[in-house]
Structure 1
Amino acid sequence: MTSDGRREKNPYYDGPRSDHFDGVRFFNPHGVEPLGLAALLRWQWWEKRARWPDAYPSPSAGAKPAARVEGGDLRVTMIGHASLLIQAHGLNILTDPVFSTRASPLSFAGPKRHNPPGVRLDDLPKIDLALVTHNHYDHLDIASLKAIVAAHHPQIITPLGNDVIIRKAIPNARIITTDWGDETDFGPFTIHTEPCHHWSARGTRDRRMALWAAFVISTPSGSIYHIGDTGFHDGINYRAAADKHGGFRLAILPIGAYEPRWFMKGQHQNPAEAVDGMRLARAQYAVGHHWGTFQLTNEAVEAPLEALSEALDAAGVERERFRPLRPGESVDIPLK
């Protein structure tokens, strides 16, 4: 209910209640929802942020990916933050495309890029499919999607409610809207929409009114587990994904934006938790993203790299199996 007694209305989605939707808001089953305004103000006023350099350039910036990667080869190229190009079996998939200078509704304020996109918009190969995991501005950027739809007209797959946001700005976008547990066939692939522990908001009055999700891309040469943002949630979703899909050739996992832990733990995993998630999901290889482009939280720009290396060594996992990519950097994932 609102403060004046009116029933809240969800502007994005009107559907039946479920184990993760109460009729107005989505939620994390048996999970922890984001802290409120008082905690946010405490973080902003009293916590100290590490100072990032004004520019954190990548040695691989300006990459020009191949037009296609055929057969069972699997290549992942980092564009920046959670935007990655996945290429396999002749298809090109783009995740959470953000090419704008700021991850913000404003052009003059909000988190600003510390490096340009590793691949320029004009240098993208033909994009067949775009996956949008949730509606935070560092993952759903209307300006970027508008440019990609104009140039490539890809199929877009996104969880419940996000379609309304996209279609309002891009009426001709081809969108498939999915719920947790849904499957979408796309060429030789099947895209599974799976749970992750996060939240959503575009403003101050729509918190958790659009769904968030992870995606599993089942291919003829192994499955890819892509998570845009998640809290570790005691490993519950990782175990469930492994049980359902039988392990993964590759997991693409967030490793940044995790400090201070008292505020971020429920929604953003840290590198040690990402390593635990890789192991629980039974992933042969992992790629780390969500670090080094936008300063969203308190840790230093290279802190995720250091913490990831320490966690891999402590777990006895070879560092080459979990690569934290810089913008423009590509990695070819072996097929075992």
Structure 2
Amino acid sequence: MAARKRTANRYYSGPPSDHFDGGLFFNPGGKPPGRFGDLLRWQFSGKRAKWPAAWPSPHPPAKPDRRLDGGALRLTMAGHASLLIQTAGLNILTDPVWSERASPFAFAGPRRVNAPGIAFADLPPIDLVLVSHNHYDHLDLATLKRLKQSHDPLVITPLGNDAVIGRAVPGMRLGAHDWGDRVDIGAAAIHVEPAHHWSARGGRDRRMALWAGFVIEAVGSKIYFAGDTGFHDGINYRLMAQKHGGFRLAILPIGAYEPRWFMAPQHQNPQEAVQGMKLCNAAFAAGCHWGTFHLTDEPIDEPAQKLADALAAEDLPRERFRAMRPGEVWDIPAIYKGTQTRQTR
């Protein structure tokens, strides 16, 4: 029998591994994204809830301090999966999207229903950007160009995404890394960790770039940004607890989960996010990936409602897991007496 021809990868070339077959990346023991027929079945189901054209945040736009030194940890929500993390003198952005649409087009595609919770001009000096994967609601080249011009940050991203960014933003400082890699930045370290997801910028580059979550290790505590992920039986959450011991803060997706028959492998729901918080041993969690771009079928406010229900069902205080809204600022306590979370020393 003739050997299967490997897919030519336009973004990355490297040796096979437990999540790369020499042509495409995959989720070990997991599920690939749905096929085109499944996408059409979903799109024409007629079950998508109607969102308002505008859903302003109850929080005013934040104006962050320039720096937070020492062990202080402050989280500010810009919108969707874009958050500002300030700790140990570092300013870190996750999946920054300041564009009007999460789309390859300026005239079509999901349009934000609330303004960014931080005006771009009010951003503090940005040292580091974490880009989890290349879907348009996470990798926004227009925003990265603006960041390059105004801040010249280092961008850390999984394998292959550097090709996408580098072609569009010449001179951007880039580090492309595999799962399990560690990047030291001053007194802090960034760990690139597995997520259960997929990647594509168009119809012919599926899974040619890797997807990931990140762990930030700085000044005695750890912060887990899970990126975009399906629950995957909690496998990656258990791995994080085993590897890192526990987290002061986990930033976890809680939206874009309906219909479950199509979305479950790639997008966890609020109940799964609560289980993930428990499994990875996080003292606090911030819910993201909801309430800004209309991507899937659930109503706009359902993720926050279901998160509250899931916390109540587990007898967990609501202040431990917030569904963050744009402009919301959260100073994360150093310790929470109701958990057994171990912090690094």
TM bracket (short chain)? over 0.9
Q: Which consecutive unaligned segments of at least 5 residues does structure 2 have?
A: 336-345
Matching residue's letter, 1:191: I
3-state DSSP of counterpart to 2:273: helix
Residues 6 and 23 in structure 2, CA contact (< 8 A), matched pair in contact too = no
Which residue of structure 2 aligns with residue 36 of structure 1? 35
The alpha-carbon distance between structure 1 residues 7 and 21, as it changes in their structure 2 partners (threshold 3 A), is closer
Shift of 1:6: 7.3
| 1:61 CA displacement | 3.5
Q: Distance in 2 between matches of 1:192 and 1:45?
A: 40
Are 1:249 and 2:248 counterparts? yes
Change beyond 3 A, Cα 1:283–1:6: closer
Give the Cα–Cα distance (whole angstroms) in 1 for the partners of residues 231 and 61 of structure 2: 33
Q: Is the 8 A contact 1:193 1:213 kept in 2?
A: yes
Deviation at 1:74, TM superposition (A): 0.3
Give 2:118's aligned residue. 119
Q: SS of 1:244's equivalent?
A: helix
Q: CA deviation at 1:8?
A: 2.8
Separation of aligned partners in 1, 2:186 and 2:90: 8
Partner of 1:48: 47
SS at match of 1:134: coil
- The answer on whether the counterparts of 1:61 and 1:116 sit within 8 Å (CA) in structure 2 is no
The answer to whether residue 128 in structure 2 is matched with residue 156 in structure 1 is no
Residue 78 of structure 2 aligns with an amino acid whose one-letter code is: I
Query: What is the alpha-carbon distance in structure 2 between the residues aligned to residue 192 and residue 47 of structure 1?
Result: 41
Residue number in structure 2 paired with 1:187: 186
* Cα offsets for 1:9-57 (capped at 9, x unmatched): 1000000000000011000000011110110000001141111111000
Paired residue for 1:72?
71
1:277 aligns to 2:276 (yes or no): yes
CA apart distance, 1:227: 1.3
Helix, strand or coil at the partner of 1:97: coil
Amino acid in the other structure paired with 2:192: T
Q: 2:132 aligned with 1:133, yes or no?
A: yes
Q: Which residue of 2 aligns with 1:81?
A: 80
Letter in 2 for 1:325: M
Q: Give the Å deviation of 1:7.
A: 5.2
Q: Does the Cα contact within 8 Å between 1:62 and 1:118 map onto a contact in 2?
A: yes
Instruction: Show the counterpart of 2:62.
Output: 63
Tell me if structure 2 keeps the 8 A contact 1:61–1:117: no
Identify the residue that residue 210 of structure 1 maps to in structure 2.
209
Report the TM-score when normalising by structure 1.
Answer: 0.98
Residue 226 (str. 1) matches residue 239 (str. 2): no
Whether the aligned pair in 2 keeps the contact of 1:221 and 1:335 (CA below 8 Å) is no
Distance (Å, rounded) in 1 between the aligned partners of 2:227 and 2:194? 11
Counterpart Cα distance in 2 of 1:294 and 1:70 = 33
Q: Give distance in 1, aligned partners of 2:176 and 2:316.
A: 37
TM-score, normalised on structure 2?
0.95
Given the alignment of the two structures, is residue 303 of structure 1 paired with residue 302 of structure 2, yes or no? yes
Taking only the aligned residue pairs, the percentage that are identical comes to 63
Residue matched to 1:147 = 146
Kept in 1, the 8 Å contact 2:6–2:22? The answer is: no
Contact persistence 2:196–2:232 (CA under 8 A)? yes
Secondary structure, aligned partner of 1:46:
coil
Please give the alpha-carbon distance, in whole angstroms, between the structure 1 residues aligned to 2:324 and 2:65.
18
How far did residue 316 of structure 1 move? 1.2
4+ residue segments displaced more than 2 Å: 5-8
SS of the equivalent of 1:296 reads coil
Shift of residue 62, structure 1, vs aligned partner? 1.9
> Which whole-Å CA distance do the structure 1 matches of 2:36 and 2:123 have between them?
40
Question: For residue 320 of structure 1, what is the amino acid of its counterpart?
Answer: E
* Partner secondary structure for residue 44 of structure 2: helix
**Cα deviation per residue 1:252-295 (whole Å; 9 max; x = unaligned)?**
00000000000000000000000000000000000000000001
Distance 1:305 1:185, change over 3 A: same
* Corresponding residue SS for 2:192: strand
Number of aligned positions between the proteins: 332
Deviation at 1:60, TM superposition (A): 1.6
Distance in 1 of aligned mates of 2:249 and 2:288 = 13
- For residue 171 of structure 2, give the secondary structure of its aligned residue in structure 1: coil
Structure 1 residue ranges without an equivalent (≥5): none
Equivalence map 1:93-104=2 (5 Å): 93-104=92-103
Q: Cα deviation per residue 1:85-126 (whole Å; 9 max; x = unaligned)?
A: 000011100000000000000000100000010101111000
Counterpart for residue 170 of structure 2: 171
Q: Is the 8 A contact 1:95 1:130 kept in 2?
A: yes
